[in-house]
A and B are shown apart, each in its own frame.
Chain A
Amino acid sequence: MERRDFFKKAMVAGASVAVGSSVAQAGETHQPVDNRKVSKVAFPEKRPLIMYSDRPPLLETPREVFTSRLTPNDQFFVRWHMPNIPTHIDPDTYTIKIDGLVEKEIEISLNDLKTKFEQVEVEAVLQCGGNSRSAFTPVAGGIQWGSGAMGSALWKGVRLSDVLDQAGLQKDAEWIGFNGKETAAYYETPNFVRELRLEELDDHVILAYEMNGEDLPYLNGYPLRLIIPGSYSDSWVKMLSKITVTNEYKHLFFMDIAYRVPDNDCECETHEKKYPTTKPITKMNVKSVIGYPTTDAVVNKDSHLVVRGVAFDDGHGIKQVMISVDEGKTWKEAILDDGRAGRYAFRAFRFSFKPAKTGKVTIMSKAINKLGKEQPFAKEVKWNHGGYKYNGIDEVTVTVI
């Protein structure tokens, strides 16, 4: 049965490629992989998700979750870099240390963070820089994520700036390093440390202990993680334990080599000719993902189908989401939610569509932000060696009966 399904799918995929473009060019970007099943195994505090690795844990949120503005904690994606995550955290004794170029080195307990600082909330999208990497050809290095290495949540915590003020920055402070508690198998392996330039850190950057009204799930960084609204998640350090202020940039593997794109306008290169210089991926580009219907869904002709999904960018805000049901020839505007969740949150959209003929129909969504930047077609997304920042127009193909 499974075998027959596979062949059926393979044939459908083959057919759509033939229709979509007469000459499938080598290196052409396409829709990310979209039919992975959730694992039989549920990880702690999670429902079964799409699973790539247990050590370190790598879990992807299935597409159908992206019909609403907030992503539930138990379905939120998971990505760690190191295999060893502390198995026991005592929130009553947990502290973070702030050292380096500060007036006084301090340790602040989790309890003090929760009681002695102003408590703030921000709803923000957390997205892996490699989300949708499976869209790239040649296959880009890294986990071949579908579109679910992302989610949006309401994060509660304290402002990073308030915590830094407590320690007091010295005049020449320029870089802030963040270190979490995950560790490698070997002592010599470099820690997963991220460094951010002080000027990049505004008041929206918080140290969060709560996610959607609950303690952070272990796998999302319990008991404390960095939240940098608008930026890709590689710098949202989990199980945050140390903040170090310096005046010079330290060369670190995870800063100098990982999570970087070509340092040119198109942030692109070819497999044959890599661009010589790179820059960090930092800010997210405009993107939308359809949560319903999902590819392979069967819907009735003349039924009142409501397409639902989410859209976001780096905080400029979403202006419109456009939907096409005719291969991108014509576009109609979807209805957006009221936007009260703020400019860093998912903007949920819905679009009413009455399929008038039977057969396959492809539904596309394209987000446009307030700067007028819009998603390109998948095939127009240019290649980079790390497979970062894919933001092609999303597509699901359903069968109308």
Chain B
Amino acid sequence: MKKLLMIGLLSLAPLMAQIEGDFTIPYIDFPVKKAKGAATYQANCMMCHSLGYIDNQGLQSKAFWKGKVEKMMIHFKAPITDQDAKTVIDYLYANYGNGKPK
């Protein structure tokens, strides 16, 4: 018991200098645009990152969003099915599109 307490104190002590307890990043509830494909979009994208990362890319072409989703699949190895990818691309373009195919 005594030993455990010691370990606890030792591991806490250095952190006192920096922050109290474990480091936590606040969760931000970014609003979701309710449209066709929203659930698929949320399920696939939010596995890895916030929706803020998408909101703040600006309005983009269909090719841009297709490229982004493919980047997640090819380079970042996100397990997105081809069917979901299509739904997500359509959702992104419909809600964050600039009206241009490329």
A binds B: yes
Interface residues of A (CB under 8 A from B): 39, 41-45, 51-58, 83, 85-92, 134, 138-139, 141-144, 184-186, 188-190, 215, 218, 222, 253, 257
Known: A51-B28, A144-B58. A186 touches B78 (CB 8 A): yes
Q: Which residues of A contact B42 (CB under 8 A)?
A: none
The chain B residue sitting closest to A56, CB to CB, is B49
Query: Which residues on the A side are within 8 Å of B47 (C-beta)?
Result: 185-186
**B58: nearest residue on chain A (CB-CB)?**
A139
Contacts of B56 in A (CB 8 A): 52-53, 58, 143-144
Q: Is the CB of B14 within 8 A of A52?
A: no
**Which of B14, B19, B26, B98 is within 8 Å of A92, CB to CB?**
B14
Is B77 touching A143 in the complex (CB atoms < 8 A)? no
> Which chain B residue shows the least CB distance to A185?
B48
Q: Which residues of A contact B98 (CB under 8 A)?
A: 138-139
B37 → chain A closest CB, angstroms: 21
CB distance from A307 to the nearest CB of B (A): 30
**Contact-residue size bin, chain B (C-beta under 8 Å from the other chain):** 20 to 34
7 A-B pairs with the lowest CB-CB distances in the bound complex, closest first: A53-B52, A139-B58, A188-B77, A54-B28, A185-B48, A52-B56, A55-B50
Q: Is the interface of B mostly helix, strand, loop or mixed?
A: loop
> A53–B53 contact, CB under 8 A?
yes
Closest CB-CB distance, B57 to chain A, in whole Å? 7
Q: How far is the CB of A364 from chain B (nearest CB, A)?
A: 25
Residues of B contacting A139 with CB < 8 Å? 57-60, 98
Residues in A with CB closer than 8 Å to B10 are: 92
Q: Are B52 and A83 in contact (CB under 8 A)?
A: no
Could you say which of B52, B78, B79 contacts A54, with CB atoms under 8 Å apart?
B52
Given A43-B25, A141-B57, A186-B78, 5 additional A-B pairs, CB 8 A: A52-B53, A54-B26, A55-B50, A83-B50, A144-B58
Contact check, A215 vs B18: say whether CB atoms are below 8 A apart: yes
Contact A186 B75 (CB under 8 A): no
Report which of A51, A88, A142 forms a contact with B22, defined as CB distance below 8 A: A88
- Asked whether, in the complex, the Cβ of A218 is within 8 Å of the Cβ of B76, the reply is no
A/B interface sample: 5 pairs, CB < 8 A: A41-B28, A90-B11, A184-B76, A189-B76, A190-B76
Which of A91, A92, A143, A186 is within 8 Å of B57, CB to CB?
A: A143
For residue B68, which residue of chain A has the nearest CB? A141
Q: Does A44 contact B53, Cβ atoms closer than 8 Å?
A: no
Q: How far is the CA of A139 from the CA of B64 in the complex (A)?
A: 11
- Rounded to whole angstroms, the CA-CA distance of A294 and B63 in the bound complex is 37
Identify which of A39, A54, A90, A134 contacts B14 (C-beta below 8 A).
Answer: A90
- Please, what's the 1-or-0 string for B2-17, where 1 marks a CB less than 8 Å from any CB in chain A? 0000000011001101
The distance in angstroms between the C-alpha atoms of A39 and B42, with both chains bound, is 23
